[in-house]
Amino acid sequence: MKPSFPVLPRRKLLAAAGLAPAILRAGRSPNILWILGDDLGPQLSCYGHPLVRTPNMDRLANEGVRFTHAHTTAPVCSSSRSAFNIGLYQTFTGTHHHRSHRDDGYQLPHGARLVSERLAEAGYFTANVLDIAPGVRGTGKTDWNWAASKGFEGNHWRERAAGQPFYAQINFQAPHKGPAFRAARQRKSLIDPARVDLPPYYPDHPVIRDEVANYYDAIQMLDTQVGATLDALKADGVLDNTIIFLFGDNGRCLLRGKQWLYDGGTHIPLLARYPGVVPAGQRRDDPVLSLDITAQTLTWAGLPLPKPFHGQNLFGAKARSHIFTARDRCDMTVDRIRAVQDQRFKLIHNLMPEKLYTQHNTYIETEYPTLGVLKQLHAAGKLNSTQSLFLAERKPEWEFYDLLADPHETRNLYQAAQGTGLQRSLQRRLDQWVSAEPAF
């Protein structure tokens, strides 16, 4: 059963957000902490998941705001991080290809700068936190698509000067594929694969059930790390004067999730906690973007938003009506996909429809056992039409989905919608957005 949360009217959120400047004028600049989970989708108990238990992340939701329609700008870590660590779309700064520009001397255009650099200049101590508690450690991950400086002044908020506010990130590997998945297997309480509810594009197979359950185990492991972080903040006496944002750097690392512009690839949890400013236990259903976290961070730190800037304040006067997302080269896999969505409909433009969903990608082929199962069952003619979609010989140029009626995005309505015009306004918006992309 999904938990029930009251929805805070926007005018009350604006009034609450208006308290922040007074706090700054009083000389009590808030600390700001971003907690990032690699490949973290919204499969948390506070988002209504029936199997996953996340009491520490639920606590943040209960003490702050839970955003139900939050997305990253890209479905892969380096492109997404290159955007929200600045506040500009990765397609606008030439950082859209996964793990690019690491050693070619590339310089960011348009005056783009790290949020950590802007806050350091404003007097904040900036840290990419490593050691948190015994057995709990951040990765120090940055993964920006340019040859950036370190970007942070230290490895823990405890290194700051007395009375100095801090801006920190804690980057947790869970629930990313690899060591975190293996570590999650060692936990005492594990998700029962037999109880996993599979999406309709997966066949019911023990290997697939096991992979999905392992992902949920890794989310539960992340929750214990979040709990240790909250304990550390409390022990240092800074919990109640620290703004906390918890979110994923992109969507879930399961097939048809990460690297794709379906909701599984960009939909993330976003929890925001600011004691005394943002009322507790609220839910927001309007579309928001990871860039908006950057905007709100700068605003609550008392800084004006630079220009150009694509993020907007989460608690500002203007709500987003649409979200744009982009996928480009991931590892060795070349592709170009753009998408736009509102609260109900999504339009995806596959600009390279001749590229297979399953074109060679070493990471996916070695880390996603579900793909191997799909290929075997497809060759044996044992997949139904929905399960065969990902094995198609080419992609459709356009995909159009009713997210309310079809949340798994398996019924492409583009051809049918042409007769009704439902997709036209989204197509115009997407064409305008793509036409504004600089050439790199």
Give residue-wise pLDDT tens across range 341-393: 999 999 999 999 999 999 999 999 999 999 999 999 999 999 999 999 999 99
Residue 10 has pLDDT above 50, yes or no: no
User: What are the pLDDT digits (tens) for 297-341?
Assistant: 999 999 999 999 999 999 998 899 999 999 999 999 999 999 999
H or E stretch at 326: strand 323-327
User: What are the pLDDT digits (tens) for 11-34?
Assistant: 334 334 444 333 344 456 999 999
Q: What are phi and psi of 187, to 5 degrees?
A: -70, 155
Q: What residue type is 280 in one-letter code? A: A
Q: In 3D, which of 382, 285, 262 has the Cα closest to residue 67? A: 285
Distance, in Å, from the CA atom of 132 to the CA atom of 438, rounded to the nearest integer, reads 41
H or E stretch at 57: helix 55-62
**Which 3 state secondary structure label does DSSP give 243?**
strand
Distance, in Å, from the CA atom of 211 to the CA atom of 233, rounded to the nearest integer, reads 34
The answer to whether the CB of 133 falls within 8 A of the CB of 56 is no
In this prediction, residue 27 carries a pLDDT of: 57
Q: In 3D, which of 209, 214, 206, 257 has the Cα closest to residue 75? A: 257
Residue 293 has pLDDT above 80, yes or no: yes
115 Rama sector, left if φ>0, alpha if ψ -120 to 50, beta otherwise: alpha
**Which 3 state secondary structure label does DSSP give 101?**
coil
Q: What are phi and psi of 37, to 5 degrees?
A: -105, 125
Topology of domain 10-322, CATH:
Alkaline Phosphatase, subunit A (3.40.720)
Average pLDDT, the chain: 93
Work out the average pLDDT over 204-220: 98
User: What are the pLDDT digits (tens) for 79-117?
Assistant: 999 999 999 999 999 999 999 999 999 999 999 999 999
Q: Which two tokens stand for residue 364?
A: 């996916």
Q: What residue type is 53 in one-letter code? A: R
In this prediction, residue 421 carries a pLDDT of: 81
User: What are the pLDDT digits (tens) for 401-416?
Assistant: 999 999 999 999 999 9
Count of C-beta atoms within a 10 Å radius of residue 186: 9
Q: Residue 36: beta bridge partners?
A: 171, 247
Alpha-carbon distances, residue 112 vs 80, 132, 192, 218, 296 (angstroms): 15, 31, 46, 34, 17
